[in-house]
Amino acid sequence: MIELLDLQQTLHAFAACNDDDEVYASFGWVHATDDDLLQARFWLPADEDAAFDDDGEVPEAAQALGLTTYLEPATFADVLDVQKRQRPLSSLHDYAEALAYYAEYDAFLQVDGVDEALGEAGAAEQAAAHAAGVGPGIFAVFGLTLEGCADEQIKAAAQRVAHLLDIPVGEALARCRALPLVLGEALDRRRAQAIKDDFAAIGARVQVRGFKPFPWMDVPVLR
């Protein structure tokens, strides 16, 4: 079955992935109708076998819906990521322009005012995005802080902190007695969930702050 998505839904599908590897594993290609991207419809077949027929063409059912090949998933994600790094608070329209530019010129759109050597927004703009709860990339990320731990579990917490931060247990113990303690920043969803679960197993209280991929999205949460 071909599920048609609009541009925002397509961006959300990419953002729902954990990382680039999951993008590769989740989508065989990006097909789209030949329209203005804000009006276009997209299809994200699960793999290349679904994306193309035996002759390497877009399947007839997809062609009947006006779909043609657009970009490889990894390239599509790269275009989003470059635009995000240059303008962290980009709008849906901004992403549409970046994608359209790449599709036409096979090159990334250079945003005015961005240091070409760094390829990213200035510190003030990045700080504004962070304050607005927007993370650095196109996938959700999380910051974890150890907020509390019962006295009888402090040694167990220190062992986990020592392993996680790669520091001596003695130093970890001292840090656990002087909470709060940052356990990690900009962690992907799987890593953040694993750390949270590990500390929850000993009854430690971990504060989680999620950062959304795109400004219009809801703040991501862990289980």
What's the pTM value of the predicted model, to 2 decimals?
A: 0.94
pLDDT at 92 over 80: yes
Query: In sequence order, which residues have a C-beta less than 8 Å from that of residue 81 and are 6 or more positions away?
Result: 137, 138
Tokens found for residue 148? 């509390």
Average pLDDT, the chain: 96
Query: pLDDT digit string (tens) for 172-210?
Result: 999 999 999 999 999 999 999 999 999 999 999 999 999
pLDDT at 18 over 70: yes
Query: pLDDT digit string (tens) for 26-51?
Result: 999 999 999 899 999 999 999 999 99
Q: How far apart are CA 70 and CA 186, in angstroms?
A: 31
Domain boundary at 82, 105, 128, which?
A: 105
pLDDT at 1 over 90: no
* Burial class (CB within 10 angstroms; exposed 0-12, middle 13-18, buried 19+) of 160: buried
In the block, residue with structure tokens 């839904």: 9
Query: In sequence order, which residues have a C-beta less than 8 Å from that of residue 94 and are 6 or more positions away?
Result: 83, 87
CB 73 within 8 A of CB 23: yes
Q: How far apart are CA 122 and CA 193, in angstroms?
A: 30
Enter the DSSP assignment of 151: G
80 and 34 assigned to the same domain: yes
Q: Radius of gyration of the chain from Cα atoms?
A: 21
What pLDDT, on the 0 to 100 scale, is given for residue 114? Answer: 75
pLDDT at 216 over 80: yes
149 and 98 assigned to the same domain: no
15 and 93 assigned to the same domain: yes
Half-sphere exposure of 139 (CA within 13 A, CB side): 18
Bridging pattern class, strands 30-33 and 67-71: antiparallel
Is residue 110 situated within a structural domain?
A: no
What pLDDT, on the 0 to 100 scale, is given for residue 42? Answer: 98
Query: pLDDT digit string (tens) for 97-154?
Result: 999 999 999 999 988 877 665 678 988 999 999 999 999 999 999 999 999 999 999 9
Is residue 151 situated within a structural domain?
A: yes
Could you give the angle at the alpha carbon of 6 between the alpha carbons of 125 and 187, nearest 5°?
45
* Burial class (CB within 10 angstroms; exposed 0-12, middle 13-18, buried 19+) of 124: exposed
CB 153 within 8 A of CB 204: yes
Enter the DSSP assignment of 204: -
Query: In sequence order, which residues have a C-beta less than 8 Å from that of residue 170 and are 6 or more positions away?
Result: none
Q: How many domains does the chain have?
A: 2
Is residue 120 situated within a structural domain?
A: no
The torsion defined by the Cα of 148, 152, 158 and 163, in degrees rounded to 10, comes to -110
What pLDDT, on the 0 to 100 scale, is given for residue 116? Answer: 61
94 and 177 assigned to the same domain: no
* Domain extent at residue 160: 141-211
Q: Residue 180's domain is classified under what CATH number?
A: 3.30.1390.10
